[in-house]
Amino acid sequence: MHTVGLLVYPNFQALGLAVASVFEYANLFRGEKAYQFRLVSEDGGPVMTSQSFSVNTERLRDASYDTLIVAGDNECHLPPDSLLDYLRDAPSRSRRVAAICTGAVVLAAAGLLEGKRATTHWFHAQEFKKQYPNVLLDEDRIFVVDGQIWTSAGMTAGVDLALAIVEKDFGLETARMVARKLVVYQRRGGGQSQFSALLELDAKSDRVQMALAHVRENLAGELTVESLADVARLSPRQFSRVFREETGQSPAKAIERLRVEAARLMMETTRHPIEVIARETGFGDRERMRQAFLRAFGQPPQAIQRASAGEALAM
């Protein structure tokens, strides 16, 4: 039996508790107590969440854990030094040490991410890089595995990470059954930027929102300032000015960014050749897409496609 401990501390984000359901359903589908899930804290007893309700926990040091998962919070606040001291030795006691969302900050503060690949929520990525420059932060991954250290992006990405743990422990079919029960993807395609890009382009006015909706629904078509201005019912000059004011980008730059994210998502979730992906996402030909990928990621599409294929095989 695998013992999983979810480590929480005051003001943790309660959405991280969702990982418990992954292990619960793994037990259900295997017909055995494959996982023993424990909600733990440094001292045990009630622990307050950021939503102002408390949960009951067991004392951390009362048991050993095959997998220890550190919850995150909304503000990247660190737990007491005594808890960081405990975590520094966690890899010697646990087969896996993991973090959900900003829980990666806690692992980094404990020195567990030094020289390792990791991820965290995209919103906190730049500050994380400043604070922990020796961590190899891959801010666009849903989750990252480096040896016995596992980290996930946002709170819901903790579910992705937990499903990957189940797949590692008991195989692909068990993970698929759990994902179906939870009505989530067993292996989500794309990175965080597919969400952050759309959020950052989320304009205030109805006119620009209509234009962005048109772009998202017609990426394969010809998208010009004139056609988008017509959708927004503005003159091309007015539209360009309002669009930049609300999104911080030119229409052309925003269109390219959304096409790049759509193309990368197709690479990570399909086996289509580059030429087909370029056509389906509106680049027209592979050279135009290659130039856009170099501007966005500093890598050509083939490199990202190979990395995605390698990551899938490694899982």
Cα–Cα nearest to 268, from 308, 237, 306, 229: 308
> What confidence score (pLDDT) does residue 313 get?
47
> What confidence score (pLDDT) does residue 291 get?
94
Helix (H, G, I), strand (E, B) or coil at 56: strand
Q: Which residues in the chain land under pLDDT 70?
A: 62-63, 185-202, 269, 307-315
DSSP states along 12-30:
B-GGGGGHHHHHHHHHHHH
Residues 162 and 150 sit within 8 Å (Cβ to Cβ): no
> What confidence score (pLDDT) does residue 307 get?
67
**Encoding tokens for residue 282?**
């509106």
Q: Residues 18-71: pLDDT tens digits?
A: 999 999 999 999 999 999 999 999 999 999 999 999 999 999 976 689 999 999
Structural domains of the chain, with CATH: 2-182 (3.40.50.880), 206-312 (1.10.10.60)
d(CA 50, CA 74): 8
Amino acid at 138: D
> What confidence score (pLDDT) does residue 201 get?
66
CA 312 and chain centroid, separation: 16
d(CA 92, CA 286): 48
d(CA 216, CA 281): 10
> What confidence score (pLDDT) does residue 151 get?
96
> What confidence score (pLDDT) does residue 202 get?
64
> What confidence score (pLDDT) does residue 308 get?
62
> What confidence score (pLDDT) does residue 14 get?
95
d(CA 238, CA 53): 49
Q: Residues 263-299: pLDDT tens digits?
A: 887 887 677 889 999 999 999 999 999 999 998 878 8
Helix or strand run (H / E) with residue 40: strand 35-41
